[in-house]
Chain A
Amino acid sequence: MNARRALLMALSAAALMPAAAGARTPIQPGRTGPRAGYFPNAVFETHDGRKVRFYDDVVRGRLVVFNMMYTACAGICPPNTANLMAVRDALGNRVGRDVHLVSLTLQPETDTPAALAAYARQYGTGPGWTFLTGQRADMEQVRRKLGFYDTDPAEDGRLSRHTGMVAIGNERLDRWCMMPALTPHKMIAHAILNMA
């Protein structure tokens, strides 16, 4: 079997493991929408201390912009976050209203809600931009579902070379695309507005 199949099977297996430590939240069926059967409804914690169901509360019916980061990243995360700040500024008061920014941590063990809150404060990301952490198996499953992976398992395992893409989705229209987080911010903002 080729590398891609091996990697995806490994990720699926990890998601199914009822391990003692870091047990995966049991999946409960979400309410219907185009991607209800696609995204899990695992429970995540936000940087501002709320518990949310991934599909029901974060995705369903929304225009969402996802990226992946971790607070200790000294590589691409700082420029990515800075560029997304410029995107947020270009979108103005639509952020938190009809556009939602969501950052998922690649290091859920260390990136507690408090750590993410500190990161958000440090950058001044503001309302409408939510940082999520949770069980690793759940984060891995969401990461795979959003297309934030490399089919080369060696590459995929290298945290320092993690994805620098953003996934933009209008879940109501089931319209999804991806682009680099370092795309000029005006292009990202324009793409988001044209999907609204």
Chain B
Amino acid sequence: MSSTGLAQTGEEKINERINEGRRGFFRRSAVGAGSAILVEAASVPPAIAKDSEDGPASPSTRPFIEVLPVPMIKQPLAALSPAPAITRGDGECGRDDHQRWGDFEPVKLYELHVKEALHSFHRDLPTQPVWGYDGIVPGPTFVARYNEPVLVRIHNDLPANHIGWGSPEITTHLHNLHTASESDGFTGDYYSATRYGPTLTGPGRYRDHHYPNCYAGYDAYPLTHGDSREAMGTLWYHDHRLDFTGPNVYRGLSGFYLLFDALDSGDENDPNPEALRLPSGVGEYDIPLVIQDRRFDRKGMLYFDPFNSDGLLGDKFLVNGKIQPLFEVERRKYRFRILDGGPARFYELYLQYKNADQEFTYIANDGNLLPAPLAMKKVRLGVAERADIVIDFSKYPLGSQLFLVNKLQQDDGRGPDDKLLDKPVQLLRFDVKAEARRPDNSRVPARLRELPPIPSAADLKKLRTREFEFDRSNGGWTVNGQFFDISKPAAQVKRGSEEVWVLKGKGDWHHPVHIHFEEGRILSRNGKAPPAHEAGRKDVYVLVPGEEIRVFLRFRDYEGKYLMHCHNGMHEDHAMMVRYDVVP
């Protein structure tokens, strides 16, 4: 921050301490009830970049010495106590009853503990407190299958007396599972042992989330338990606490949830002739990658500005929680599921080998397989967008190094510039270390997943059409000129209906607009058909200034309240959100 008076004095003191010597010192940080987390703040290397209005320049960190963490797979439990039931249990927050419990009795039970724990972003920075699902950042990866409903009990073990940005109540959204409203992590459904949000009826230490893992169109296609063309593969879960989503997620609250079915089966040696046999083995050759930009203060501690409502931009890039890591690969195909984990930055990602852009195979957008793979050399992602790509490292000799880089210039939290960086920022290094350990039987077939049909142009014209304008007003962010009203739906949509939603971006800001509950199909961007990689199903629609996107949506199988909002963490917290209800 630019500084005068007091702030300068404080900073001078800190610089003195850094120059004092190599002795570490302990600093007592936020104290929860009975628990203290001691942090060793070693001398940190001085920053080489300049401070910006987004905050201090982070201390320098050596690139490509951290190894990419590969997420541990969440294991189910034999039982939960109290046993999960339709109605809230003893100690559970005041949620509504689970809809359609009998249709989707859970076959797997899980328990997550949201807690404060220590994390090392990089060995050149102090190990420090974060908030993590099961205390890890990113949280554990769920591996789930269609037609295998699960129940996840999410405990809030965060310190009630937390000091600093963020708020220790939680509500977890699984982005973007087709799920009942009471398990969707509605933003007002936040809970802790002592507090609760406006749409719950009481506090509680935990909440049961019922994830049916059913295809959308369950009622319309009973013989196949839903429309299998509606399958999703790459989802993520994160906190969604009203007013504090940006900082809570920034503190570490996100993780992956992967879904498989008979087609995208997760087994590259699958004997089923229908199976795609994409590169498989979560954590082996099927790797989720979450990219997050962050900023650290002069002591090397995670820095956040709660007074920023434009969008915070970091100057350090985490992949799966580590700054600029490396990943050793075999000379074979890998599937990477890339997520822009925010809070606000847009990326244009390239794969570079000897400074030349390499081709890769793009197979899924926002977790939805396309009808056919695309050969591409770049991927643009807004916050919460996902891209699944396949890279074939057998094209490169042993000892090669490739880089996942970002070329998109962005200096303003409101949106990227229209320019590419002269010097791309290297996010992740792939080290081609070994031959394939076993024969690579994976493939990327010419046909992936068929798309469900959408109405003809003539029929689309007959559908209910709603317009939503995303704008700014007196320092806050609006949808149709209004700020978020948690008790009044901006749209009441009949269950089973089809509609066209028109998203319009006003002013000169970018907004990654996310619609909960259902995937949509982009019909047009400014009147033109979307590019091939956006012509399938999506759930985040990046609105560019002055743009109009028409989205086709179906609303099926459940009733209740859901959300549509900008996924820029600072915009959604400053009210760029609407509630919509699916009604009978």
Chain A residues in the interface with B (C-beta under 8 A): 2-5, 8-9, 12, 15-16, 27, 29-30, 34, 36-38, 40-41, 76, 141, 145-151, 161-165, 167, 172-180, 182-184, 186-187, 190-191, 194-195
Measured CA separation A167–B476 after assembly (Å): 12
Measured CA separation A76–B473 after assembly (Å): 10
Contacts of B121 in A (CB 8 A): none
Contacts of A34 in B (CB 8 A): 163-164
Excluding A179-B483, A184-B485, 6 further A-B contacts by CB distance (< 8 Å) are A147-B307, A177-B243, A180-B574, A184-B486, A187-B486, A194-B197
Measured CA separation A167–B169 after assembly (Å): 19
Interface presence of B234 (CB below 8 A): no
Of the candidates A27, A41, A147, A174, which one forms a contact with B309 in the assembled complex, judged by CB atoms under 8 Å apart? A147
Question: Given that A186-B198, A187-B486 are contacting pairs, would A151 and B310 also be in contact in the complex, using a CB cutoff of 8 Å?
Answer: yes
Measured CA separation A187–B187 after assembly (Å): 12
Interface core residue of A37, A41, A149, A186 (most chain B CB under 10 Å): A37
Measured CA separation A172–B52 after assembly (Å): 27
Question: Given that A2-B411, A183-B483, A191-B243 are contacting pairs, would A8 and B475 also be in contact in the complex, using a CB cutoff of 8 Å?
Answer: no
Check A150 against B475 for contact (C-beta < 8 Å): yes
Check A173 against B161 for contact (C-beta < 8 Å): yes
B343 → A minimal CB distance (Å): 15
Check B574 against A8 for contact (C-beta < 8 Å): no
Measured CA separation A147–B307 after assembly (Å): 5
A81 → B minimal CB distance (Å): 14
Contacts of A174 in B (CB 8 A): 163-165
Can you list 23 contacts pairing A with B, beta carbon distance less than 8 Å? A2-B411, A3-B412, A34-B163, A37-B6, A76-B474, A147-B306, A147-B308, A147-B309, A151-B310, A151-B414, A164-B475, A165-B476, A174-B165, A177-B573, A178-B573, A179-B483, A184-B488, A186-B487, A187-B486, A187-B487, A190-B197, A191-B243, A194-B197
Check A163 against B487 for contact (C-beta < 8 Å): no
Check A175 against B473 for contact (C-beta < 8 Å): no
Check B484 against A183 for contact (C-beta < 8 Å): yes
B31 → A minimal CB distance (Å): 12
Residues of B in contact with A, size category = 35 or more
Contacts of B4 in A (CB 8 A): 12, 15-16, 27, 141
Interface presence of B195 (CB below 8 A): yes
* Residue ID in chain B nearest A161 by CB atoms: B474
Q: List the 3 closest pairs (A to B, CB-CB), nearest first.
A: A147-B307, A164-B474, A163-B475
Interface presence of B5 (CB below 8 A): yes
Check B306 against A177 for contact (C-beta < 8 Å): yes
Check B475 against A165 for contact (C-beta < 8 Å): yes
Residues in B459-489 with C-beta less than 8 Å from chain A:
473-476, 483-488
Interface core residue of B197, B475, B487 (most chain A CB under 10 Å): B475
Contacts of A141 in B (CB 8 A): 4
Measured CA separation A142–B475 after assembly (Å): 16
Measured CA separation A176–B574 after assembly (Å): 12
Interface presence of B219 (CB below 8 A): no
Contacts of B90 in A (CB 8 A): none
A13 → B minimal CB distance (Å): 9
* Residue ID in chain B nearest A141 by CB atoms: B4
Residues in B299-351 with C-beta less than 8 Å from chain A:
306-310
Measured CA separation A190–B196 after assembly (Å): 10
Count, A-B residue pairs, CB within 8 A:
129
Measured CA separation A170–B5 after assembly (Å): 24
Check A5 against B53 for contact (C-beta < 8 Å): yes
Contacts of A163 in B (CB 8 A): 474-475
Question: Given that A4-B53, A146-B307, A187-B485 are contacting pairs, would A165 and B574 also be in contact in the complex, using a CB cutoff of 8 Å?
Answer: yes
Question: Given that A165-B309, A178-B309 are contacting pairs, would A8 and B573 also be in contact in the complex, using a CB cutoff of 8 Å?
Answer: no
Of the candidates B2, B166, B483, which one forms a contact with A180 in the assembled complex, judged by CB atoms under 8 Å apart? B483
Residues in B399-444 with C-beta less than 8 Å from chain A:
411-412, 414
C-beta contact mask, B164-203 vs A, less than 8 Å → 1, else 0? Answer: 1111010000000000000000000000000101100000
Contacts of A5 in B (CB 8 A): 52-53
Measured CA separation A185–B169 after assembly (Å): 21
Question: Given that A177-B243, A179-B574, A179-B575 are contacting pairs, would A148 and B475 also be in contact in the complex, using a CB cutoff of 8 Å?
Answer: yes
Question: Given that A161-B474, A173-B163, A183-B483 are contacting pairs, would A36 and B6 also be in contact in the complex, using a CB cutoff of 8 Å?
Answer: yes
Measured CA separation A174–B308 after assembly (Å): 15
Check A37 against B476 for contact (C-beta < 8 Å): no
Check B167 against A195 for contact (C-beta < 8 Å): yes
C-beta contact mask, B1-45 vs A, less than 8 Å → 1, else 0? Answer: 011111101100000000000000000000000000000000000
Contacts of B236 in A (CB 8 A): none
Check A38 against B310 for contact (C-beta < 8 Å): no
Check A178 against B307 for contact (C-beta < 8 Å): yes
Of the candidates B9, B169, B411, B488, which one forms a contact with A194 in the assembled complex, judged by CB atoms under 8 Å apart? B169
Measured CA separation A106–B475 after assembly (Å): 14
Contacts of B483 in A (CB 8 A): 179-180, 182-183
Contacts of B242 in A (CB 8 A): 191
Question: Given that A147-B307, A165-B309 are contacting pairs, would A9 and B2 also be in contact in the complex, using a CB cutoff of 8 Å?
Answer: yes
* Residue ID in chain A nearest B307 by CB atoms: A147
Measured CA separation A1–B243 after assembly (Å): 31
C-beta contact mask, B487-505 vs A, less than 8 Å → 1, else 0? Answer: 1100000000000000000
Measured CA separation A167–B307 after assembly (Å): 8
* Residue ID in chain A nearest B414 by CB atoms: A151
Interface presence of B506 (CB below 8 A): no
Measured CA separation A173–B161 after assembly (Å): 7
Contacts of A164 in B (CB 8 A): 473-476
Measured CA separation A38–B4 after assembly (Å): 10
